[in-house]
Amino acid sequence: MDSKQKIFNILNRAEGVISGETLSAELGISRVSVWKHIKGLIESGISIISSPTGYRMTLDPDSLVPWAFGARQDRIHYFQETGSTMDEAMVLARKGCADFTVVVAQRQTCGRGRMQRTWLSADGGLYFTVVVRPDIPMMLAGLVNLAAAIDMANLLRSMYQIDTCLKWPNDILVNSHKICGVLSQMEAEGDQVAHMNIGIGLNVNNAPETEEPIAISLRALLGRPVPRREILVAFLDAFEKRMLAFDPHAVLDEWRLNNVTLGRPVRVITVKDRVEGTAVDVDFHGGLILQLADGARQTVMVGDCFHR
Ligand code: BTN
């Protein structure tokens, strides 16, 4: 733990003001160094009031800086602004970062969605990518995406009492409006997954509906701003637990229970094709099984699904 993190922890635990002298004695560094670290913390968005008697921190519950994540802080990589957390995560994953490393950004300049779409990434939304290294064959990778959407949908339902449901493959909807999307990238070694980077964009305190009428934010639904850190922490708690004991059958059962796609007539647009039929089930790899007009069945692995 570096001095900046130690200062953060001391101020975070403290009830009131902590003098510069106390910090310099506890850390064994000069008062000037203490001040430089305090300045660094302030620049990264932490609110620290300095007075003649010392420093006092008020931790903004919305702050996503690593120090605010306690024991997880070493695995959190925070960016005030980046192109896409997917790209940052890929660099870290290829360098061998730990399982459950997280890249989170305040905003993205080139946020991307599935099927080469842009993901609006203004201030206020929650944009992050988790690197996971599950010990599973490549053919089960699609289920990890479903699992991430299930865990996020569950926590939004239980923490904020909103009626989330899943649209194939892993969109989270509330009243037919999209609140969250999941994008993943994977690299393999042989036929085993080496790492999967699961990128999640959740509309929290941003206003995507001004540009994207089918989108909705948590703030618009609840009529109040929501601190993003509690969402990220709850997601990581649930998703880490799930991935450490990954059960493909449980993922499929939960997805079937919470989806709004199965049983409906749908149109799926794939990169080269368009398929229409009734969505009847998901297969063991997370593919959508369609019953076509002539009674034949076709499974689609990747695509954009429109409910008709
Ligand atoms: C979709 O529904 O099309 C998926 C959207 C995924 C957006 C997230 S935001 C964090 C991560 N970084 C990106 O550039 N995209 C994903």
Q: What pLDDT digit, counting tens, does each position of 68-82 carry? A: 898 899 999 999 999
Average pLDDT over residues 38-47: 86
From ligand 1's centre to the CA of 49, what distance in Å?
Answer: 36
Tokens of 1: 């733990």
Domain that holds residue 279: 265-307
Instruction: Choose among 238, 251, 298, 260: nearest CA to 141.
Output: 251
CATH code for position 273: 2.30.30.100
Residues whose beta carbon lies within 6 Å of some atom of ligand 1: 84-86, 108, 111-114, 117, 119, 127-129, 171, 181-183, 199-201
Same domain, 110 and 252: yes
CATH code for position 160: 3.30.930.10
From ligand 1's centre to the CA of 113, what distance in Å?
Answer: 4
Same domain, 303 and 210: no
Q: Quick one: pLDDT at residue 308?
A: 87
Q: Is the dihedral of CA 128, 134, 140, 144 positive or negative?
A: negative
Tokens of 132: 């996971």
Contact between 170 and 148 (Cβ < 8 Å): yes
Q: Quick one: pLDDT at residue 59?
A: 81
Task: Give nearest CA residue, ligand 1 atom 14.
Answer: 111
From ligand 1's centre to the CA of 206, what distance in Å?
Answer: 15
Contact between 199 and 85 (Cβ < 8 Å): yes
Same domain, 84 and 215: yes
Same domain, 46 and 175: no
Same domain, 170 and 282: no
Q: Quick one: pLDDT at residue 239?
A: 98
Same domain, 118 and 167: yes
Q: Quick check: 13 pLDDT over 90?
A: no
Instruction: Choose among 112, 115, 111, 182: nearest CA to 144.
Output: 182
Give the position, in ligand 1's atom list, of the atom nearest the Cα of 121.
9
Read off the pLDDT of residues 91-104 as tens digits, 9 standing for 90 and up.
999 999 999 999 99
Contact between 83 and 110 (Cβ < 8 Å): yes
Read off the pLDDT of residues 47-61 as tens digits, 9 standing for 90 and up.
899 999 999 998 888
Total domains, the chain: 3
Q: Quick check: 45 pLDDT over 80?
A: no
Read off the pLDDT of residues 178-211 as tens digits, 9 standing for 90 and up.
999 999 999 999 999 999 999 999 999 999 988 8
Last residue within a domain, chosen from 57, 87, 102: 57
Same domain, 247 and 271: no
CA dihedral of 151, 154, 156, 157, whole degrees rounded to 10: 180
Same domain, 252 and 271: no
Same domain, 172 and 76: yes
Task: Give nearest CA residue, ligand 1 atom 7.
Answer: 201
Q: Quick one: pLDDT at residue 43?
A: 84
Q: Quick check: 176 pLDDT over 90?
A: yes
CATH code for position 43: 1.10.10.10
From ligand 1's centre to the CA of 81, what distance in Å?
Answer: 15
Instruction: Choose among 264, 266, 275, 272: nearest CA to 300.
Output: 275
Q: What CA–CA distance (Å, rounded) separates 211 from 117?
A: 14
Read off the pLDDT of residues 108-155 as tens digits, 9 standing for 90 and up.
999 999 988 999 999 999 999 999 999 999 999 999 999 999 999 999
Same domain, 14 and 148: no
Q: Quick one: pLDDT at residue 210?
A: 87
Tokens of 14: 């403290």
Q: Quick one: pLDDT at residue 96?
A: 97
Contact between 240 and 75 (Cβ < 8 Å): no
Same domain, 84 and 46: no
Mutate to test the pocket of ligand 1, among 120, 183, 269 (most ligand atoms within 8 A of CB): 183
Looking at every residue in the chain, the average pLDDT score rounds to: 95
Average pLDDT over residues 276-295: 96
Q: Quick one: pLDDT at residue 250?
A: 97
Same domain, 87 and 121: yes
Please name every residue paired with 165 in a beta bridge, in sequence order, or none if there are none: 173
Average pLDDT over residues 258-287: 95
In Å, how far are 125, 177, 215, 288 from 203, measured between CA atoms?
A: 5, 11, 8, 26
Percent of the chain scored above 70 by pLDDT?
A: 100
From ligand 1's centre to the CA of 145, what distance in Å?
Answer: 12
Read off the pLDDT of residues 209-227 as tens digits, 9 standing for 90 and up.
888 889 999 999 999 999 9
pTM assigned to the model: 0.89
